[in-house]
Amino acid sequence: MKLIIGLGNPGKTYAGTRHNIGFEVIDFLADKWNSPLTQSKFKGMYSVIHRPEGKVMLLKPLTYMNLSGEAVGALMDYYDIAIEDIVVIYDDLDLPTGQLRLRQKGSAGGHNGIKSLIHHLGSQQFNRMRIGIDRPPAGMKVPDYVLSRFSKDEAPEVEEAVRKSAEACEFWLSKPFIEVMTKFNGT
């Protein structure tokens, strides 16, 4: 089984914020595959989809961003999912809005959700898909910025990034992640 994880914060307060772009990709895939996240366990909402490529699980941890690893680690242990069979989708301040960057390993880069995953998985070697949200304007604090919503001008770039991320996830179901990186990096 492959596991696609979108990071974000639960609740209406955070819906549509920059920090929740990982949740948006999961919602996009759930809608496209007609598989709403109706199962709740291990501090997360998820669904299991039977696709031609095999079983796929979509997961939105409900632990809040900084504790995402709690939900992911518990679910991976219960379903015996290998670390190479996951991809984590999350926001990145160091990329222009809407740009994708895929990697197979790396540090947390200051992202608390990824720090939690590294801690709970015991490894930095897992597939990740970062979606650019750009840097905050001068004078705005990072926490305020990541919890703000995208502007109307940014909406087309964000929608395209969500669509491309979902496409990359679908491509990964039948291809090695290195091929996904080659095809989608920097798009």
Q: What angle do CA 112, 151, 34 make, to 5 degrees?
A: 70
**Quick count: other Cβ atoms within 10 Å of Cβ 13?**
9
User: For residue 128, what are its two tokens?
Assistant: 């990740």
Q: What are phi and psi of 16, to 5 degrees?
A: 80, 5
User: For residue 126, what are its two tokens?
Assistant: 């897992």
User: What does the alpha-carbon distance between residue 174 and residue 150 come to, in Å, rounded to a whole number?
Assistant: 32
**Is 19 assigned a catalytic role?**
yes
Q: What is the DSSP string of 53-78?
A: TEEEEEEEE-S-GGGHHHHHHHHHHH
Marked catalytic residue, from 19, 50, 111, 119:
19
Work out whether the CA dihedral 171, 134, 111, 47 comes out positive or negative.
negative
Q: Could you list the active site residues?
A: 19
